Structure 1
Amino acid sequence: MTTSDGNTPQVTDEHIERLKENMEKVEALSKRLVDVMAGKTPHTPALDGPNQELFAKAATAYFAEAWQNPAKILEHQIEYWGKSVLNFAEAQQAMAKGEIETDESAPKDRRFANPMWDTNPYFNFIRQQYQTNAKAISQAVASVEDIDDKDRRRLTYFSQQIIDMMAPTNFLATNPDALEKAVETEGQSLIKGLENLVADLEANDGELVVRLADETAFEVGGNIATTPGDVVYRNRMMELIQYKPATETVHETPIVLFPPWINKYYILDLKAQNSLIKWVTEQGYTLFVVSWVNADTSHADIGMEDYIQDGFLTAIEEAKKICKVKQVNAVGYCIAGTTLSLTLSLLKQRGDKSVKSATFFTTLTDFGEQGEFTPFLQDDFVNGIEDQVNKDGVLKAWIIGRTMSFLRSNDLIYSPAIRSYMLGETPPAFDLLYWNGDGANLPGRMAMQYLRGLCQGNDFVTDGFELMGHTLHIRDVDVPLMAITCETDHIAAWKDCYRGVQQMGSRSKTFVVSESGHIAGIVNPPSKKKYGHYTNPDLKGDADTWLNEADFHEGSWWPMWEAWLKKRSGKQVPARDTGDSDHPRLAPAPGDYVTVKASR
């Protein structure tokens, strides 16, 4: 490929011929693509979109509004028509003049960062018309009346998904970055992109799950999850890892940390610089962490009661035995925090004081507001999930991962897909994204108990959640507690977490809002000096009042939590080595369960 002025690429006949040769390679890849799609295992269609009743309701309401108030609808239509004609006229004018007048005041969209969106009449017209269409769809949805709030939120969400999906950047013919790269590389970028696409489909049984990270760059136990420790107990539900001490003495009361079983525990031990696990041992604590089993069909009948009995209660009991103490400090993250709350209610009703204090990371207990999960927690989707788990025995990791990704589709689906499939780039070597893709299957029975009884029924804060012969209720959670939430968390919104903490029966409650989101707000080491946090001891008012009156603190909440924990962790004792005569070291950390990949 030559250039005429040292900068501008000049496409030659020879270049075109090499481009054609590369395009012929597409045939072989296309055959692989057809083969993998032909062998795809079908899944319940309800997992792919809402019941058509939602759109029927919206259409009926829209046309009813048109009959009742035609002027309003016509105003929207005329505005759309006028803008579309203006876009076309401006494009014609630009082609005639050979230049475009750009609007510097227009809001910036990073999807349209390529200068050609502003300087090329073709791409400029496409961008403007897409933005006009997007506004028209949003306006139409906003104008729909006579539908309830949940349906409105779902309609807004799914219409935005359509808008995002139809962005011109998602299609080769209207993506200047991809077209420029294809010409520059003589079509090799498209060959590599198609190879990436086929590889992702083959790796996921025909389901399109965009790989976010270079999986060859990481090894669990090699360059991530490397804090020294040993598996000291194992059963069908979990491995219990005890971490080696990093100080000569430790606090008498150990910590037992329960991570979510939707993902692997090593989010808290990615690398030494941001490992909460390593940091806790360096503060002088005996730390136990549960590594959950990655469910397969043999776990289909495992329920919440099994996680409590063979997970929470067993881990607490074994930690007590190893440390020869009567109490532990417990920590629960996300769904494990929710289940820790259930466990504390059970212990309260049994008169068991094994837990001295509880810390909750981004934990929902009151599901009265479903937030961004509203589109997925209605009966059409949940019924679809139930149908699928009845077939598979488990709620497969790709279903969970896809749902989470669609909450941030531009960042977690479309942008990575463009880079991988159109530009032919290798996914980045990013440990957080590697962990994000290393999902876990959920036992079918547990998944439905959680979705039906907690998420949909909100039983824990209303009539009580029936489990293990008890009616578990949030008011029974009465140990001293600290709740860490995250300001921009889209999975466990901090205001919803706050509402749950308000209803807990504890006399001693500390509530914290960290800056950032579900992961970065928790994995926030003091050394980074990155995200601050808010505190306010008065939990009587609503969430907005709490935040308005809260004090802001620079830096991580970890030291503040450790100071709180220290008061509840007893005297200093000689550092404990891992295990004992009744708890032999079964395997070095990170153990065996964490390396099991989710079945497809």
Structure 2
Amino acid sequence: MDNQGDKTGKAPNLDNYVIKDPEAFARNVAHMIEQAGKAASAWVEPREKGLKRDTLADPVTDVVKTLSKVSEYWLAEPARALEAQTRLFTSYMAIWSNSIRRMSGEDVEDVVTPDKGDKRFADEDWGKYAFFDFLKQAYLVTSRWAAELVENTEGLDEHTRHKASFYVKQITTAASPSNFLMTNPELYKETVASNAENLVRGMKMLAEDIAAGGGDLRLRQSDTTKFSLGENVATTPGKVIARSEVAEIIQYEPTTEKVLKRPLLICPPWINKFYILDLNPEKSFIKWAVDRGHTVFVISWVNPDERHAHKDWTAYINEGLRFGLDTIEKATGEKGVNAIGYCVGGTLLSAALALFAREGEDRIKSATLFTTQVDFTHAGDLKVFVDEDQISALEKAMSAEGYLEGTRMATAFNMLRSGDLIWPYVVNNYMRGRDPLPFDLLYWNADATRMSAANHSYYLRNCYLDNNLVRGMMQLAGENLSLADVKIPIYNLAAKEDHIAPALSVFTGCKFFGGDVTYVLAGSGHIAGVVNPPARNKYQYWTGGAPIGNFDDWVAKTREHPGSWWNHWEKWIETQAPERVSARKPGEQNVEILAEAPGTYVRVRV
């Protein structure tokens, strides 16, 4: 690099790249190697003791099988392969030629530039020095070329193309020069400036995180020491007033003298913990709803272990939703309830509503669905992980303990945005040696939950694989379910940038319900689009006509509103049943108090 000029052709100042204290540097490299050995031991030890079994072979096999189909197409005809290789080689030569011309003092435009918002190449040295500039452009050209190969491969079915595109993105994101010490100017300069102390700290953190994961890497995304449930996270006052094998029911303390007569039951996803809706007083939807005069009850799902292996959707409906309705009736005397379901909690709620309709159970009078899919035709990148081979392999892995490890699902979600949720933290933690900043949302994101084998298998097969709920083929408690039987009013919230429950997917599900559906599109994504308190005045939401016809046509005719959708929902929910009564407190009606909120189930960590 010392013979390379910068973009002006001038000799670069390499002071920041020269080791000033070779002895200290060498000493720290030795310490780094020592810490790396501890990291390796933390990985090996549980495997030697039989405490950890690797299941990496199946996903890697699927990656190889999928990308082999892409390779077969391009290699089947020499002319086609030559054309693709020539296209890539021509781009490399253009980058190299530009580098030479810059060294001669010419002002030359880049062959390729990073996408807007790509933070990986923000340091000025990526463009200032020819060496790093060449690496950056060569990487960008290669990654885009690889993506185009998948896009232009003929004869692939939709699922295989989707998987191939996803896997290529994962590989190219991992291979970015920003992820490696010798090819990232920021990392290089920090290592020189600290005489490699950053690498010593980073390897120490790596060893700690592998040990914390019991032999698997538990990637730190937030400083978890700064948060404690019930103290500065999940702090809305309430009581656990009922407990089944799969759920605790929390009733929150009222803050108003009068409350809506109809209580509110929230069914969160069991894939994550409920307190995403109660992160802190400023962000808490639960507190906001209590302050608006709702008597709020929340289902807090158990973190399953081997005892829950056979708990399926019927069990989660009976011991969760139905159990919640019984608890509300006992605590308040009310039979009519407004219900909210979030993500897969909303999918379960929708299935339960169809089952209840068949059974004549009519206590739920309105339902609100937060970023919920019932039709999985357009289910997004999570479909990459779902086909018969992958589900069978997963079921085999779950059969040993009776559940899916929470880290497996957390990793899958992180991979959907690996450029934001994986690699920046790998670089920050293990190369820079910096602790991540405290962030309540990422603390919650890392608080993973297990999935019972029967529950998770049923979910993957009936929703993602076979799309049975909207086909009228889902069976629960001996009943064939039809969403057309659900006649109650539905408030269906989607998020514009949602990568888990895409807005199109939520929209297409609206038509299957048998009653009136109000579809609202929020700004941002799966979490920020939902957890968007009005006081922050962030993002926006769109309202329009009935959710029918083409999604893009519906969007084109919508009205945009600044800020949060929460107040819009509040007006909608009050039109359902505006009557108010005196506030109810947990423990009335001789209901036993079992624990303080947020309860005991939520505190079980994996």
TM-score band, normalised by shorter chain = over 0.9
Specify which of 402, 405, 410 is matched with residue 401 of structure 1. 410
Deviation (angstroms), 1:570: 4.5
Structure 2 CA distance for aligned equivalents of residues 410 and 235 of structure 1: 40
Q: Scaled by the length of structure 1, what TM-score is found? A: 0.93
The answer for the alignment partner of 1:467 in structure 2 is: 476
- Whether the aligned pair in 1 keeps the contact of 2:17 and 2:188 (CA below 8 Å) is no
Within-5 A mapping of 1:355-366: 355-366=364-375
Are the equivalent residues in 2 in contact too, given 1:100–1:120 (CA < 8 A)? no
Secondary structure (helix, strand or coil) at the match of 1:573 reads strand
Aligned-pair CA distance for 1:322 = 0.8
Corresponding position: 1:453 with 2:459:
no
Q: Are 1:56 and 2:68 matched, yes or no?
A: yes
Q: Does 1:271 align with 2:283?
A: no
How do 1:415-430 residues align onto structure 2 when only pairs under 5 Å count?
A: 415-430=424-439
Alpha-carbon offset, residue 458 of structure 1: 0.9
Other-structure match for 2:234 = 225
Higher alpha-carbon deviation: 97-106 or 37-46: 97-106
- Counterpart selection for 2:141 from 98, 120, 132: 132
Alpha-carbon separation, structure 1, partners of 2:451 and 2:282? 30
Find the counterpart in structure 2 of residue 239 from structure 1. 248
| Amino acid in structure 1 at the alignment position of 2:520 | V
Matched, 1:318 2:330: no
Map residues 146-295 of structure 1 onto 2, 5 A cutoff: 146-295=155-304
Which AA in structure 2 matches 1:61? Y
Show the counterpart of 2:38: 32
Note closer, same or farther for the CA distance 1:521–1:11 as it changes in structure 2 (3 Å cut): closer
Alignment of 1:69-108 (within 5 A): 70=79, 72-92=80-100, 97=104, 101=108, 103=110, 106-108=113-115
Give distance in 2, aligned partners of 1:570 and 1:43. 55
Q: Which runs of 5+ in 1 are unaligned?
A: 1-6
1:342-353 correspondence to structure 2 within 5 Å: 342-353=351-362
- Output the CA distance in 2 between the equivalents of 1:52 and 1:273: 46
Is residue 490 from structure 1 mapped to residue 495 from structure 2 by the alignment? no
Aligned-partner Cα distance in 2 for 1:164–1:188: 26
How far apart in 1 are the matches of 2:503 and 2:330?
36
1:117 aligns with 2:129: no
Aligned pairs (5 A) from 1:323-342: 323-342=332-351
Offset at 1:58?
2.2
Query: Does the C-alpha gap of structure 1 residues 477 and 120 become closer, same or farther in structure 2, counting only changes over 3 Å?
Result: same
Maintained 8 Å contact 1:164/1:410: yes
Q: Partners in 1 of 2:497 and 2:540 — Cα distance?
A: 13
Residue 526 of structure 2 corresponds to residue 515 of structure 1: no
- Correspondence 1:431 to 2:440: yes
Per the alignment, residue 574 of structure 2 pairs with 566
- Counterpart of 1:3 in structure 2 is none
Alpha-carbon RMSD across the aligned residues, in angstroms, is: 2.0
- The answer as to 2:58 corresponding to 1:46 is yes
1:362-420 Cα distance to aligned partner (Å, 9 max, x none): 11001123322231112232222112111221111111011111111111111111111
Change (3 A) 1:296 1:13: closer
| Post-superposition offset of 1:102 | 5.8
Verify the 8 A CA contact 1:62 1:145 in the aligned structure 2: no
Deviates more, 1:74-83 or 1:291-300: 74-83
Whole-Å separation in 2 of the counterparts to 1:451 and 1:111 = 35
**Deviates further, 126-135 or 8-17:** 8-17
**Contact 1:231–1:586 under 8 Å retained in 2:** yes
SS at match of 2:527: coil
Partner of 1:545: 553
**SS in structure 2 of the partner of residue 274 of structure 1:** coil
Q: How far off its partner does 1:78 sit?
A: 2.1
Label 1:156 to 1:555 Cα distance change in 2 as closer, same or farther (>3 A): same
CA contact (8 A) 2:63 2:167 kept: no
Residues 13, 209 of structure 1: alpha-carbon distance in 2 compared, 3 angstrom cutoff: closer
Q: Indicate the SS of the match to 1:356.
A: strand
Aligned equivalents of 1:309 and 1:536: distance in 2? 36
Quote the offset at 1:107 in angstroms: 4.1
Amino acid at match of 1:32: K
Query: Following TM superposition, by how much is the alpha carbon of 1:137 offset from its aligned partner in structure 2, in angstroms?
Result: 1.7
Q: 1:99 to 1:297 in 2, by over 3 A?
A: farther
Worse-superposed segment, 124-133 or 455-464: 124-133
The answer as to whether partners of 2:16 and 2:192 remain within 8 angstroms in 1 is no
Instruction: Count how many residue pairs are aligned between Structure 1 and Structure 2.
Output: 586
| CA deviation after TM superposition for structure 1 residue 52, in Å | 3.5
Instruction: Give the one of 20, 23, 44 matched to 2:26.
Output: 20
**CA distance in structure 1 between the partners assigned to 2:574 and 2:437 by the alignment:** 39
Please tell me whether the aligned partners of residues 488 and 517 of structure 1 are also in contact (alpha carbons under 8 angstroms): yes
Q: Which amino acid is 1:354 matched to?
A: R
Change (3 A) 1:409 1:14: closer
Q: CA offsets per residue over residues 74-133 of structure 1, 9 Å max, x none?
A: 3332232222234334445556x5898564983454211112211222212222222232
Alignment partner of 1:124: what SS? Answer: helix
Inter-CA distance 473–11: structure 2 relative to 1 (3 Å threshold): closer
Report if the CA contact (8 A) 2:111-2:137 is conserved: no
One-letter amino acid of the structure 1 residue matched with residue 162 of structure 2: R
What secondary structure sits across from 2:304 in the alignment? Answer: coil
Structure 1 segments, 4+ long, off by >6 Å, are: 10-14
Change in 2 beyond 3 A, CA 1:98/1:16: farther
TM-score scaled by length of structure 2: 0.93
Q: 1:504 to 1:217 in 2, by over 3 A?
A: same
Residue 433 of structure 2 aligns to which amino acid in structure 1?
G
Residue 343 (structure 1) shift? 0.9
AA of the residue aligned to 1:210: L
Structure 2 counterpart of 1:557: 565
Contact kept in structure 1, 2:330 and 2:589, CA below 8 Å: no
**Pair 181,559 (structure 1): closer, same or farther in 2 beyond 3 Å:** same
Question: What's the counterpart of residue 4 of structure 2?
Answer: none
* Structure 1, 443-452 or 203-212: larger mean CA deviation: 203-212
User: Does the aligned pair in 1 maintain the 2:245–2:302 contact within 8 Å?
Assistant: yes
Would you say the 8 A contact 2:113–2:137 is kept in 1?
Answer: no
The answer to whether the 8 Å contact 1:232/1:579 transfers is yes
Distance 1:356 1:13, change over 3 A: closer
Choose 17-26 or 310-319, whichever is displaced more.
17-26
Deviation at 1:168? Answer: 0.8
- Asked if the contact 2:256/2:583 (under 8 Å) is kept, the reply is yes
Whole-angstrom CA distance in 2 between matches of 1:181 and 1:557: 44
